[in-house]
Structure 1
Amino acid sequence: MNQKSCLNCGHSVSDEFCPHCGQKTDTARITPKSIIKNDILGSIWHVEARFFNTLKDIIFRPGKTAMDYIAGKRIRYNNFIPLLLVLFSFNVLGLHYYEKFASAEVLADDSEVKDFLSKYSKAVLFVIIPMLAVNAYFLFRRIKLNIAEHFIIGTVSLLGILILFLLDDIVSLIGLWKPVSKIFFVIDQLLFGIALLFPAVTYWNAFKNSYTSWGMVWRVVGLYFLMGLESTVIGLILYEIF
């Protein structure tokens, strides 16, 4: 087997990566070609491919993505917590531009929803995940996941909601440009409905092989019931405080 020394730490290596420091063993002299191919184009492609792979898997197989991440299969994905903050920022930006370009008449129709999101968006972000995690911990005890692992599943669920809300923001902005078209209203309502159902899709996709269909149905319904009850209590508390 061909042995050589790692250029970073001097450790003897014979594989693709140095077992001591992790640097790639094909590291060579920097040339104009290597800067363009590896440092610029390679880095951009790696970041973008990983980012869009993460978004795609969250939308189309959210539960499987969460369970893979929990099982340690993480190199394919961006870290979920920073991604959550990025998508949250995009949603705030989308809401800002919607309010900026929408007419007073349009804003009047949904002002209560927009006001709530503007005032309590951070609270919603930090409350939904723990609520999902704690409720699912008790409802899906057979899976034997700890509370932190359920936190990851809740995070993936909220990520899916934020992706759908971001798409909804884009549709709403296009709808302002062509308000006579009913298709944007239909898409808007469809995306909103899917977003509401996304936690159910996430948990069904994650645990469908561990429970019967009826077992999954009553647990998902129970999850929504508890979430609705807790959200009502939190909403009343916020209303009384503010």
Structure 2
Amino acid sequence: MNQKSCLNCGHSVSDEFCPHCGQKTDTARITPRSIIKNDILGSIWHFEARFFNTLRNIIFSPGKTAMNYIAGKRIRYNNFIPLLLVLFSFNVLGLHYYEKFAPAEVLAEDSEVKDFLSKYSKAILFIVIPMLAVNAYFLFRRIKLNIAEHFIIGTVSLLGILTLFLLDDIVSLISLWKPVSRIFNSIDRALFGIAVLFPAVTYWNAFKNSFTTWELAWRVAGLYFLMGLESSVIGLILYEVF
């Protein structure tokens, strides 16, 4: 077996990565070609490929993605917490541009609700995941996941919702163009409906092999009931106090 020393730590290596520090073993002299190919194009491609692969898996198999991550299969995904903040920022940006270009009469509709959501969006973001985690911990006790693992499933669920809301923001911007407004308004409503149902899809996809259809159905329904009740109480407190 061809042994050589890691250029970073001096540890003896024979594979693609150093087992001691993790650095790649094919490091060579830096050239203009290597900077363009590896440092610039390689980094961009690696980030974008993993970013879009993570979003694709979250949208089409959210529960399986969460369970894979919990099981330790993590190299294929972006870290969920930073990704959550990135998507949240994109949503804020999308809302900003929608409010910038939308006619005043459109913005006037449900303006009070929009103002409330805009003002407390960060609080809502950080409340939803713990609520999902705690409620699911008790409803799906048979699975033997701890609260932190349920936190990951809740995070994946919210990532899917934010992705759908981002698509919804794009559709809403396109719908401002009158010739296509009717079609894109229908797409807008469909995306919102899917976003509302996304937690159900996530937990169904995650636990469909661990419960019967009836057992899973009443647990998912119970999750929505508890989330709705708790959200109403928290929303009322925020609205009345602030």
TM class by shorter-chain length?
over 0.9
- Return the offset for 1:97: 1.0
Is there any run of 5+ residues in structure 2 with no aligned partner, and where? Answer: none
- Return the offset for 1:142: 0.5
Paired amino acid for 1:98: Y
> Deviations for 1:128-178, whole angstroms, at most 9, x for unmatched residues?
001000000000001000000000000000010000000000000011123
> Deviations for 1:198-238, whole angstroms, at most 9, x for unmatched residues?
00000000000000000110000000000011011111211
Aligned residue number for residue 140 of structure 1: 140
Aligned residue number for residue 10 of structure 1: 10
Q: Distance in 1 between matches of 2:67 and 2:114?
A: 34
- Return the offset for 1:29: 1.1
Aligned residue number for residue 203 of structure 2: 203
1:202-241 mapped onto 2 (5 Å cutoff): 202-241=202-241
Contact (CA 8 Å) 2:9, 2:21: kept in 1 or not?
yes
Residue 95 of structure 2 corresponds to residue 95 of structure 1: yes
Contact (CA 8 Å) 2:63, 2:202: kept in 1 or not?
yes
SS at match of 1:169: helix
Gap change, CA 1:117 and 1:85, over 3 Å in 2: same
Q: Distance in 2 between matches of 1:33 and 1:43?
A: 14
Q: Distance in 1 between matches of 2:94 and 2:33?
A: 39
Contact (CA 8 Å) 2:62, 2:156: kept in 1 or not?
yes
Q: Equivalent pairs: percent with the same residue?
A: 89
Q: Distance in 2 between matches of 1:124 and 1:216?
A: 26
Segments ≥4 residues shifted beyond 6 Å: none
Aligned residue number for residue 169 of structure 1: 169
SS at match of 2:54: helix
1:69-148 mapped onto 2 (5 Å cutoff): 69-148=69-148
- Return the offset for 1:192: 0.2
- Return the offset for 1:179: 5.7
Contact (CA 8 Å) 2:174, 2:181: kept in 1 or not?
no
- Return the offset for 1:180: 5.4
> Deviations for 1:41-95, whole angstroms, at most 9, x for unmatched residues?
1111001101101111110000001111111111111111111111111111111
Higher mean C-alpha displacement, 232-241 vs 62-71: 232-241
How many residues are treated as equivalent by the alignment? 242
- Return the offset for 1:12: 1.1
Normalised by the length of structure 1, the TM-score is: 0.97
Paired amino acid for 2:11: H
Paired amino acid for 2:89: S
Aligned residue number for residue 55 of structure 2: 55
Q: Distance in 2 between matches of 1:239 and 1:41?
A: 48
